[in-house]
Structure 1
Amino acid sequence: MVRSDCDGSRRGVRILSTLPFFAAALVTIPLLVACEPERLPPSDPDLRAELAIPDDTPIHRVDLGGASSETSVIPRFLEVHPGDLVQFVVLDNRVHLVRFPEKGLGPTNLAFLRETSQDRPPPLVERGARLVLSFGGAPLGVYTFIVEGYGAPMRGEIRVVVP
């Protein structure tokens, strides 16, 4: 079927000829997503070897960096399980401070960070510097953090959930 506009052009032919491609894509893409293999826990082989971390302990990574006066925190929101590790890694040459404001934590979450001496981490002062936090035995809930150093502070969350 050929459709034409009032001016006699044949633009409709081009649209109809691409329909089979789009139909095939609509069927194929969901199949590819459904067949995606199960994702392995996050890892960092160098950190694992350096700290003798067991192979079955997931290591999540948060990259800290930025350009000009903006701080970058990627990802800003993480979902982890009790026992997981989270490492903050500096990608630029600026100082970054990760802190957990008391108002962003419930009393049990704050107590956990204090008991494990993770409530006041030291500043990260050079490219490649890492802060590794352990959520072994962590109570479920939200752990709000702020990254300061230059520009406006960036807020993020680590959410500890049931596995």
Structure 2
Amino acid sequence: MDKVQPGPGQESVWDYPRPPALDLSSEKIVVMLGGQVIAETSQSWRILETSHPPTYYLPRSAFAPGSLRVASGLSYCEWKGMASYLDLIGGGRVAERQAWWYPEPTPQYAVLQDHIALYPAAMDRCTVNGEEVAPQPGNFYGGWVTSRVVGPFKGSPGTNFW
């Protein structure tokens, strides 16, 4: 694996820590589904974890009324705790189980309560400060790739055991 050297204004995901860091962000986030804006905010949390592009957690209040629906299933994060899933709804489209949140996060990540993360690959478009996001490679992770971060990123073929 060859790590990409960050340029001016960039971050290397290989400089992110484990356990993941919390970074309060004032970047403008816009999420579109079914041709509609379903979420918009200028205050979110970025989770920064070694080898992963940031995952953005948006406040529940950033989501349009009717765009969130409780979905089945749970998963467990060794740092953040038990996650619950949500369907995202916009413009007649439903992205089933494509968002998650921590109803009772661990104390270290308590600020994530009432914040929601989503898989950008399931959306029409996600932007950070007007830049369109590319989804983290693979179908398990929810990282947001922008020009601000360099990799390589976990999720591509052959990276399972990084």
Higher-strand-fraction structure: 2
TM-score of Structure 1 vs Structure 2, range by shorter chain: under 0.3
Higher RCO structure, 1 or 2 (CA under 8 Å, sep 6+): 2
What TM-score does the superposition give when structure 1 sets the normalisation length? 0.27
Write 1 or 2 for the structure with the bigger share of helix: 1
Between structure 1 and structure 2, the one with the greater Rg is 1
Give the alignment's TM-score, normalised by structure 2.
Answer: 0.27
